Amino acid sequence: MIALVVDGEPVLGAIGNPATGLCVCGAVGHGVQVDGDPGLGWQHAGDRLRLLVSRSEWQRGEWRHAAAAGCEALPMGSVAYKLALVAAGGADATWTRHPKHEWDVAAGAALVRAAGGEVWLPHGGALHWNAARPRLPSFAAARAGVRPRLAAL
């Protein structure tokens, strides 16, 4: 993964996953290019939100409420890959409840934004990139129009 942050905003990103053959590249204002298949074979999604969650958070039971809140949750590793899948249309959103370093999410944040989606701090406040302490307390990312549906989580 690689990102370009300009004036505190991630504007260009690329994430590749050789194991799955997926590569997503994009820039804010120019859209995204997807090489490979971002499909994840969702079992029961229908009109439910397809939410990618941390495997460790899932194992600790932090996402048990997802089904009741209208989500189909799929646990997986790599926050960058989850963001790439959201940008590529393979999922509706991803959200982590625990701190992440900027370098783990900047490329994915740029891709989600390039695809017309949003990246935000679930507990409020503004995202600050290239900060003296490059750690985000938590964050959420979603394709366009999904953020209001995630509010219940």
The structure tokens listed for 42 are 């969702």
Residue type at 62 in one-letter notation: E
Contacts of 67 (CB under 8 A, 6+ apart): 73
- pLDDT for the residue 45: 61
The arithmetic mean of pLDDT across residues 82-88, rounded, is 97
Q: Does residue 143 have a pLDDT over 70?
A: yes
The arithmetic mean of pLDDT across residues 34-38, rounded, is 95
- pLDDT for the residue 41: 75
- pLDDT for the residue 39: 86
Q: Does residue 152 have a pLDDT over 70?
A: no
Domain locations along the chain:
2-35+46-150
Reduced to 3 states, what is the DSSP secondary structure of residue 145?
coil
Query: Which neighbouring-strand residues pair with 74?
Result: 52
Banded model confidence at residue 151, pLDDT cuts 50, 70, 90: confident
Q: Does residue 43 have a pLDDT over 80?
A: no
Contact 111, 143 (CB under 8 A): no
pLDDT single digits (tens) 51-78: 999 989 888 888 877 767 778 888 998 9
pLDDT single digits (tens) 94-117: 988 889 999 999 999 999 999 999
Distance CA 83, CA 109 (A): 7
Contact 95, 79 (CB under 8 A): no
Architecture in CATH of 2-35+46-150: 3-Layer(aba) Sandwich (3.40)
- pLDDT for the residue 44: 64
Arithmetic mean of pLDDT over the chain? 90
